[in-house]
Amino acid sequence: MASSADLKLLSAYAHSLGMRIEDHDEAGMPVVAIDFSEDLEGRPGALHGGATSGILETAGYAALRTELSRQGRNARLKPINVTVQFLRAGLRKRTLAAGRIKRLGRRNANIVVEAWQDDREKPIATAVMNVMVVEAD
Protein backbone atom coordinates (compact mmCIF):
# COMPACT_ATOMS: atom_id res chain seq x y z
CA MET A 1 0.00 0.00 0.00
CA ALA A 2 1.28 3.45 -0.90
CA SER A 3 2.04 5.59 2.13
CA SER A 4 0.06 8.77 2.67
CA ALA A 5 3.16 10.77 1.84
CA ASP A 6 3.26 9.29 -1.67
CA LEU A 7 -0.35 10.06 -2.33
CA LYS A 8 -1.54 13.63 -2.66
CA LEU A 9 -4.49 13.24 -0.31
CA LEU A 10 -4.92 16.85 0.78
CA SER A 11 -5.62 19.94 -1.32
CA ALA A 12 -3.99 23.36 -0.85
CA TYR A 13 -7.29 24.41 0.73
CA ALA A 14 -7.13 21.54 3.25
CA HIS A 15 -3.49 22.30 4.16
CA SER A 16 -4.20 26.01 4.45
CA LEU A 17 -7.09 25.48 6.87
CA GLY A 18 -4.89 23.15 8.98
CA MET A 19 -6.03 19.65 8.06
CA ARG A 20 -3.66 16.70 8.21
CA ILE A 21 -3.83 12.94 7.77
CA GLU A 22 -3.44 11.61 11.26
CA ASP A 23 -4.09 7.92 11.00
CA HIS A 24 -5.92 5.19 9.14
CA ASP A 25 -9.05 3.50 10.41
CA GLU A 26 -9.74 -0.27 10.57
CA ALA A 27 -10.81 -0.18 6.93
CA GLY A 28 -7.49 1.39 5.99
CA MET A 29 -9.10 4.69 5.12
CA PRO A 30 -7.23 7.92 5.99
CA VAL A 31 -8.49 9.85 9.02
CA VAL A 32 -8.38 13.61 8.46
CA ALA A 33 -7.70 15.60 11.63
CA ILE A 34 -7.91 19.31 12.41
CA ASP A 35 -7.43 21.16 15.70
CA PHE A 36 -9.96 23.82 16.63
CA SER A 37 -8.93 27.37 15.81
CA GLU A 38 -10.69 30.69 15.27
CA ASP A 39 -10.37 30.07 11.52
CA LEU A 40 -12.98 27.28 11.85
CA GLU A 41 -15.42 29.16 14.08
CA GLY A 42 -19.00 30.03 13.17
CA ARG A 43 -21.07 31.25 16.07
CA PRO A 44 -18.84 31.72 19.11
CA GLY A 45 -17.45 28.44 20.41
CA ALA A 46 -18.81 26.26 17.59
CA LEU A 47 -17.48 24.97 14.28
CA HIS A 48 -18.77 26.80 11.19
CA GLY A 49 -21.04 24.61 9.04
CA GLY A 50 -18.93 25.45 6.01
CA ALA A 51 -15.71 24.39 7.74
CA THR A 52 -17.35 21.14 8.88
CA SER A 53 -18.45 20.49 5.28
CA GLY A 54 -14.92 21.19 4.02
CA ILE A 55 -13.47 18.65 6.46
CA LEU A 56 -16.04 16.03 5.38
CA GLU A 57 -15.36 16.61 1.67
CA THR A 58 -11.61 16.44 2.23
CA ALA A 59 -11.94 13.08 4.03
CA GLY A 60 -14.20 11.83 1.21
CA TYR A 61 -11.65 12.71 -1.48
CA ALA A 62 -8.82 11.22 0.61
CA ALA A 63 -10.76 7.93 0.90
CA LEU A 64 -11.47 7.88 -2.83
CA ARG A 65 -7.85 8.64 -3.79
CA THR A 66 -6.70 5.88 -1.41
CA GLU A 67 -9.04 3.34 -3.03
CA LEU A 68 -8.12 4.41 -6.59
CA SER A 69 -4.46 4.03 -5.68
CA ARG A 70 -5.10 0.52 -4.32
CA GLN A 71 -6.66 -0.34 -7.68
CA GLY A 72 -3.69 1.17 -9.51
CA ARG A 73 -5.90 3.78 -11.15
CA ASN A 74 -4.78 7.32 -11.95
CA ALA A 75 -7.78 9.61 -12.24
CA ARG A 76 -8.85 13.20 -11.91
CA LEU A 77 -11.76 13.79 -9.55
CA LYS A 78 -14.59 16.23 -10.19
CA PRO A 79 -17.28 16.95 -7.60
CA ILE A 80 -20.88 16.19 -8.59
CA ASN A 81 -22.58 16.95 -5.29
CA VAL A 82 -22.45 16.77 -1.52
CA THR A 83 -25.27 16.54 1.03
CA VAL A 84 -24.31 17.30 4.62
CA GLN A 85 -26.36 16.46 7.73
CA PHE A 86 -25.42 18.42 10.82
CA LEU A 87 -26.10 16.25 13.87
CA ARG A 88 -24.43 18.02 16.79
CA ALA A 89 -22.61 21.30 17.35
CA GLY A 90 -18.86 20.94 16.75
CA LEU A 91 -17.09 22.15 19.89
CA ARG A 92 -13.72 23.77 20.57
CA LYS A 93 -11.72 20.57 20.17
CA ARG A 94 -10.03 18.38 17.58
CA THR A 95 -12.28 17.09 14.81
CA LEU A 96 -11.69 13.83 12.91
CA ALA A 97 -13.29 12.60 9.68
CA ALA A 98 -13.10 9.49 7.52
CA GLY A 99 -14.92 8.23 4.45
CA ARG A 100 -16.24 4.89 3.22
CA ILE A 101 -16.55 4.10 -0.49
CA LYS A 102 -20.06 2.77 -1.10
CA ARG A 103 -19.57 2.34 -4.81
CA LEU A 104 -16.67 2.95 -7.15
CA GLY A 105 -17.40 2.42 -10.82
CA ARG A 106 -15.61 3.38 -13.99
CA ARG A 107 -17.02 6.91 -14.15
CA ASN A 108 -18.29 7.83 -10.72
CA ALA A 109 -18.04 7.10 -7.03
CA ASN A 110 -20.40 7.32 -4.07
CA ILE A 111 -18.85 8.02 -0.67
CA VAL A 112 -20.29 8.31 2.84
CA VAL A 113 -18.28 10.40 5.30
CA GLU A 114 -18.48 10.90 9.06
CA ALA A 115 -16.96 13.64 11.21
CA TRP A 116 -16.64 13.21 14.96
CA GLN A 117 -14.80 14.68 17.95
CA ASP A 118 -14.55 12.32 20.93
CA ASP A 119 -16.45 9.26 19.78
CA ARG A 120 -16.91 8.01 16.24
CA GLU A 121 -20.23 6.50 17.35
CA LYS A 122 -21.47 10.05 18.00
CA PRO A 123 -20.76 11.88 14.74
CA ILE A 124 -21.16 15.68 14.63
CA ALA A 125 -21.96 15.54 10.90
CA THR A 126 -22.25 13.07 8.04
CA ALA A 127 -22.08 13.59 4.28
CA VAL A 128 -22.91 11.71 1.11
CA MET A 129 -20.81 12.66 -1.91
CA ASN A 130 -21.00 11.75 -5.59
CA VAL A 131 -17.75 12.28 -7.47
CA MET A 132 -16.94 11.95 -11.15
CA VAL A 133 -13.83 9.86 -11.81
CA VAL A 134 -12.03 10.88 -15.00
CA GLU A 135 -9.40 8.33 -15.93
CA ALA A 136 -6.06 9.85 -17.07
CA ASP A 137 -4.94 8.44 -20.44
Partner 1 sequence: MNDIPAHFDPERMGSMIFERAHPGWLDLEFHEKGANWVELKLPWREDLVGDPDFPVLASGPIVSLLDMAGGMCIWTTNRVFKPVATLDLRVDYQRPARDHAAVYGRTECYRLTRSAAFVRGFAHDGDPEDTVATMVGVFMTINPGRANG
Instruction: Give the H/E segment covering residue 57.
Output: helix 49-70
Give the residue with the Cβ less far from partner 1, 28 or 79: 79
Shortest CB 122 distance to partner 1, Å: 17
Shortest CB 119 distance to partner 1, Å: 20
Alpha carbon distance 118, 103 (integer Å): 28
Alpha carbon distance 109, 52 (integer Å): 21
Give the residue with the Cβ less far from partner 1, 77 or 104: 77
List 86's β-bridge partners, or say none. Answer: 125
Amino acid occupying residue 35 = D
CA atoms within 13 A on the CB side of 18: 12
State the residues that interact with partner 1 by CB under 8 A: 8, 11-17, 38-44, 46, 48-51, 53-54, 57-58, 76-86, 89
Give the residue with the Cβ less far from partner 1, 5 or 26: 5
Give the residue with the Cβ less far from partner 1, 14 or 31: 14
Cβ-based neighbour number of residue 69 at 10 Å: 16
Shortest CB 32 distance to partner 1, Å: 12
Give the residue with the Cβ less far from partner 1, 29 or 84: 84
Shortest CB 69 distance to partner 1, Å: 16
Q: Which of 96, 117, 87 is nearest to 29 (CA)?
A: 96
Shortest CB 105 distance to partner 1, Å: 19
